[in-house]
């Protein structure tokens, strides 16, 4: 809609812009190359930025500047040889796909996860752990030897001292893939980000606590791990009613599995909003309510347990397909909250796990076999061990793993 007929046309404005600013492109190209050489990584790590302007004159920077001239050249060509509208749309699609593919490469993944991690509040546990996992994933698994892969919820994060376990099991590598709030359904969703290799041991710490997902469709949890390799299994584990009711979340999940920009959006937004540094103390969101709940209660509702059990069966099948052994340690919660209903749930989940491991020849280490009688002094709240309990569990876990599995076998070739 033309509002003012006396003004120049779009083409004239573009030509004038190119005539006036074409030199800005090589200059910006040189500056961006210069930034990648140092200031960019300083920004990623939230450090103060220093620029060595003298590097502008290096042959690499200058050649990058020359390469940047291709942009005004294509622009000029587009002005003088107009293309059909559909080619422009195809060009836009191509550019978008290129941007999305570029975001998948470690060239951008590493700075993204590092930048996001640097800008998180201390209370953003889940996002911090996602950054940790994705960074480790980008670094790749160097060690050829079969490893112990620790999978579980915050009970594992808080209850198992990974460094101590590494020390006790050395030279066997220990990889942590536990996440806050992880349940079997979430473990299945995340399994494409678990670096399993044949001969690995997947160690789980499971109890009724882990089958009590409170959210029927935890899409915020799924999104950063979405992948078409695991998505069908996750959706098949859910009931048809759940999928129909949460069709918007299903759409979100599928989009995240397809488009990287959508998958990492929470983290990109974190960087955009906290561009220079995390929020100051005054504006941080408090997690006091969550802490209060953890101290006084632990979830016990088995409403969504059927879906969790189906997901666990799929997860176990996936491990078997990768020739990965499974070792399940029976989990526990603070005895202060034992109740008849919790005990019933506990025994229900225990029967399910015992039956499953018996059928598949996997290892189930019951509480009795662990021989650990945690008292109230071993817990920091209703579901997480404190440092005393953590050390007890880690040492016992290391003993069981060393005694009962072929951990010390030679690296696979």
Partner 1 sequence: MLFNSQVFLIFFVVVYGLYRLLPHRWQNVLLLVSSYFFYGWWDWRFLTLIFLSTVIDYIAGGIIYSAGPNQRRRKAAVVVSMTSNLVILGFFKYFNFFADNLSAVLQYAGLPAFTRHLNIILPVGISFYTFQAMSYALDIYRGHLKPARSFLNFATFVAYFPQLVAGPIERASNLLPQIENPRTITRAGIESGAWLIFWGLFKKCVIADNLAVLVDGVFGATGATGATSLLALYAFAFQILCDFSGYSDIARGLARWMGVELMLNFNNPYAALNPKDFWSRWHISLSSWLRDYLYIPLGGNRKGRRRTYINLALTMLLGGLWHGAAWTFVTWGAFHGLLLVIYHRWAEKFSPKGTPDSGRWLRLRRLWMFHLACAGWLFFRANSLGQVGDMVRSLTTNFSWNTDAANMLMAILIYCTPLWLVQWLQVKTGNLSAPMELSFLPKAALLATLVWMFLALGNTGGGAFIYFQF
102 neighbors 112 (Cβ within 8 angstroms): no
Q: Residue 130 and residue 116: Cα distance in Å, rounded? A: 10
CB 139 to partner 1: min, Å: 24
Q: How far is the CB of 9 from partner 1 (least distance, A)?
A: 6
Enumerate residues 6+ apart whose C-beta is below 8 A from 7: none
CB nearer to partner 1: give 8 or 371: 8
CB of 284 to partner 1, least distance (A): 11
Nearer to partner 1, 88 or 360 (CB): 88
Query: What's phi and psi for 326, nearest 5 deg?
Result: -115, 130
For partner 1, the closer CB: 59 or 81: 81
Dihedral sign computed on CA atoms, order 256, 304, 127, 388: negative
Nearer to partner 1, 79 or 336 (CB): 79
To the nearest whole angstrom, how small is the minimum distance from the Cβ of residue 165 to partner 1? 37
Collapsed DSSP state (helix, strand, coil) of residue 142 = coil
What are the angstrom distances between the C-alpha of 101 and each of 16, 70, 110?
A: 33, 21, 14
Contacting residues toward partner 1, per CB under 8 A = 1-11, 13-14, 71, 74-75, 77-79, 82-83, 87-89, 91-96, 99-100, 248, 251-252, 255, 259, 261-262, 264-265, 268-269, 272-277, 279-280, 282-283
Closest contact distance (angstroms) between CB of 51 and partner 1 is 18
- Number of other residues whose CB lies within 10 A of the CB of residue 199: 18
Min dist CB 85 to partner 1, Å, is 8
3-state secondary structure (DSSP) of residue 151: strand
Task: State the minimum distance, in angstroms, from the CB of residue 95 to partner 1.
Answer: 4
CA 98 to the chain's CA centroid: 23
Nearer to partner 1 among residue 112 and residue 300 (C-beta): 112
Instruction: Please give the distance of CA 180 from its chain centroid, rounded to a whole number.
Output: 11
Is the Cβ of residue 281 or residue 339 nearer to partner 1 in the bound state? 281
CB 287, CB 123: distance < 8 Å: yes
Distance between CA atoms of residues 302 and 352, nearest Å: 13
Instruction: State the minimum distance, in angstroms, from the CB of residue 325 to partner 1.
Output: 39
Nearer to partner 1, 100 or 215 (CB): 100
CA distances to 180, 274, 367 from 265, rounded to whole Å, are: 19, 14, 41
Closer to partner 1 at the Cβ: 244 or 269? 269
Q: Note the maximum CA span of the chain.
A: 88
> 351 vs 2, 156, 231, 342, CA distance in Å?
73, 21, 28, 14
């Amino acid at each position: 809609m033309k509002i003012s007929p006396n003004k120049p046309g779009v083409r004239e404005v573009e030509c004038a812009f190119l005539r006036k600013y074409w030199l800005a492109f090589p200059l910006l190209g040189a500056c961006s190359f210069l930034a990648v050489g140092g200031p960019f990584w300083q920004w990623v790590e939230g450090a103060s930025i220093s620029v060595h302007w003298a590097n502008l004159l290096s042959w690499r920077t200058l050649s990058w500047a020359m390469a940047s001239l291709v942009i005004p050249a294509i622009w000029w060509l587009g002005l003088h040889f107009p293309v059909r509208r559909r080619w422009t749309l195809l060009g836009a699609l191509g550019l978008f796909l290129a941007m999305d593919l570029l975001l998948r490469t470690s060239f951008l993944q590493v700075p993204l996860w590092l930048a996001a991690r640097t800008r998180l509040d201390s209370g953003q546990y889940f996002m911090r752990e996602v950054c940790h996992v994705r960074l480790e994933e980008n670094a790749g698994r160097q060690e050829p030897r079969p490893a112990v892969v620790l999978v579980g919820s915050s009970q594992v994060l808080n209850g198992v001292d990974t460094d101590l376990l590494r020390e006790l099991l050395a030279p066997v590598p220990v990889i942590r893939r536990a996440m806050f709030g992880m349940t079997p359904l979430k473990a299945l969703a995340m399994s494409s980000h678990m670096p399993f290799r044949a001969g690995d041991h997947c160690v789980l710490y499971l109890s009724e606590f882990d089958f009590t997902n409170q959210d029927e469709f935890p899409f915020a949890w799924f999104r950063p791990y979405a992948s078409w390799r695991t998505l069908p299994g996750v959706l098949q584990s859910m009931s048809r009613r759940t999928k129909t009711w949460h069709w918007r979340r299903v759409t979100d999940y599928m989009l995240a599995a397809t488009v990287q920009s959508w998958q990492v959006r929470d983290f990109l937004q974190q960087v955009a909003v906290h561009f220079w540094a995390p929020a100051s103390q005054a504006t941080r969101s408090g997690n006091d309510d969550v802490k209060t709940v953890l101290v006084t209660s632990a979830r016990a509702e088995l409403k969504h347990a059927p879906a969790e059990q189906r997901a666990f069966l799929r997860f176990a099948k996936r491990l078997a397909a990768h020739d990965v052994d499974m070792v399940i340690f029976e989990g526990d919660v603070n005895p202060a909250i034992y109740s008849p209903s919790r005990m019933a749930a506990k025994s229900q989940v225990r029967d399910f796990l015992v039956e499953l491991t018996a059928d598949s020849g996997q290892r189930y280490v019951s509480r009795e076999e662990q021989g650990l009688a945690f008292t109230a002094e071993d817990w920091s709240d209703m579901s997480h061990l404190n440092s005393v309990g953590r050390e007890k569990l880690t040492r016992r876990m290391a003993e069981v793993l060393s005694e009962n599995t072929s951990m010390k076998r030679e690296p696979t070739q």
